[in-house]
Amino acid sequence: MTHRFTLRVYYEDTDLAGIVYYANYLRFIERARSEWIRTLGIDQRRMKEDTGVVFAVRRIEADYLHPAHYDDELEVLTSTEAVTGARIMLKQDVMRGGETLFTAHVTVVAINETGHPARLPANIRLLMH
């Protein structure tokens, strides 16, 4: 299943040339992951309160393929590649029309209050498959 998240590029997202500043793609895919989690019915605040477990990005491998510009409407596609006991591997693509502008492979891990690895709650693992 692929989650779709639409956003518009604002002036604040761009550099002097009106091109999206490279670090902002990470913000775009973070927003999309947060919305994907929400659509699965996972309340991250409640998960932290109930289990002490939170999500943290462990690794991102990113490719910048084409620039996005001021006022572009973009779509972030998020799909699950693998889910283990403590990790979620995702593929996220930032698209404009049918063109892929940015692609990333993201590893998200579960950690506890002390920052150590933790198991994902079983019900959450099931939702992500």
How much is the average pLDDT of 8-29? Answer: 97
How many Å is the Cα radius of gyration of the chain?
Answer: 16
pLDDT reading at 49 higher than 80 = yes
Q: How confident is the model at residue 104 (pLDDT cuts 50, 70, 90)?
A: very high
Number of domains in the chain: 1
Q: How confident is the model at residue 14 (pLDDT cuts 50, 70, 90)?
A: very high
Cα separation, 6 vs 28, whole angstroms: 9
The structure tokens 């889910």 sit at 83
Task: Using alpha carbons, select from 105, 106, 36 the residue that is nearest to residue 75.
Answer: 36
Cα separation, 103 vs 100, whole angstroms: 7
How much is the average pLDDT of 84-98? Answer: 95
The strand pairing partners of 6, in sequence order, are 75
Cα separation, 116 vs 113, whole angstroms: 7
How much is the average pLDDT of 21-25? Answer: 97
> Could you list the active site residues?
15
Kindly report the average pLDDT of the chain as a whole number.
Answer: 94
Query: Which CATH number covers residue 17?
Result: 3.10.129.10
Which residue segment(s) compose the domain that 77 sits in? 2-127
